[in-house]
Amino acid sequence: MYLLARYPKAQDAVLGLIENGALSVAFRLDEHLGALRKLLQKYRDTPMSLADACIVRMSEIHDRHAVLTLDSDFLVYRKHGRASLTLIHPAT
């Protein structure tokens, strides 16, 4: 949503996907604090936001899913400390 801030219709479309059940976020932050803390420490120089850490953590939990992003930092992040994330990312 942050990257879509300049595009209110795109933000509305994302919320519509959540509303109609096409997209869901089933992630409890409190259940993953240790892993999130490690990610935030590891990528402190990037810097990684809490939202980014949550997305990387979800990619660790849900291995068969891809991350849709416009943020090039996700090219740097690794799940389980070593594996590239599966990304849906426009070519640069």
- For the stretch 50-59, pLDDT in tens is 999 999 999 9
Please name which of 6, 55, 12, 8 lies closest in space to residue 35, comparing C-alpha atoms: 55
Helix (H) or strand (E) holding 18: helix 8-19
Model pTM?
0.77
pLDDT at 92 over 60: no
Please name which of 37, 68, 64 lies closest in space to residue 53, comparing C-alpha atoms: 37
User: Does residue 47 lie within any of the structural domains?
Assistant: yes
User: Does residue 83 lie within any of the structural domains?
Assistant: yes
User: Does residue 5 lie within any of the structural domains?
Assistant: no
Q: How many CA atoms lie within 13 Å of 60's alpha carbon, on the beta-carbon side? A: 18
Please name which of 43, 47, 49 lies closest in space to residue 79, comparing C-alpha atoms: 43
User: Does residue 36 lie within any of the structural domains?
Assistant: yes
Query: How many distinct structural domains can be found in the chain?
Result: 1
pLDDT of residue 4: 86
Q: Which domain covers residue 61, as residue numbers?
A: 29-88
